[in-house]
Amino acid sequence: MAVPKCKVSKQRGNKRFANWKLAPLNLSECPQCHELKKSHEVCPKCGYYNGKPVVLPKEDKE
């Protein structure tokens, strides 16, 4: 059974988790409609992936 030899202070323990940051999204341009989309995902605007239509695009509710 693992037992710590010494008490870990709050400062030392918090230092360990201080560098967990969210990375910004990697957005790329869709070759069909030139909108920004997430890499390796179907474009939500036109529904194309890898130059082929995959899904029907969502229509705006107006």
pLDDT for res 36: 95
Residue 42's pLDDT band (boundaries 50, 70, 90)? very high
Query: Does 21 have pLDDT greater than 90?
Result: no
Average pLDDT over residues 50-60: 81
d(CA 32, CA 44): 12
pLDDT value of position 62: 58
Strand partners, 28: 37
DSSP 8-class letter at 28: E
Give the confidence band of 39 by pLDDT, cuts at 50, 70, 90: very high
Q: What is the chain's length?
A: 62
Q: 36-38 and 27-29 as β-strands: parallel, antiparallel, unpaired?
A: antiparallel
- What pLDDT does 58 receive? 67
The pLDDT, as a whole number, for residue 14 is: 93
Note whether 29 and 35 are within 8 A (CB). Answer: yes
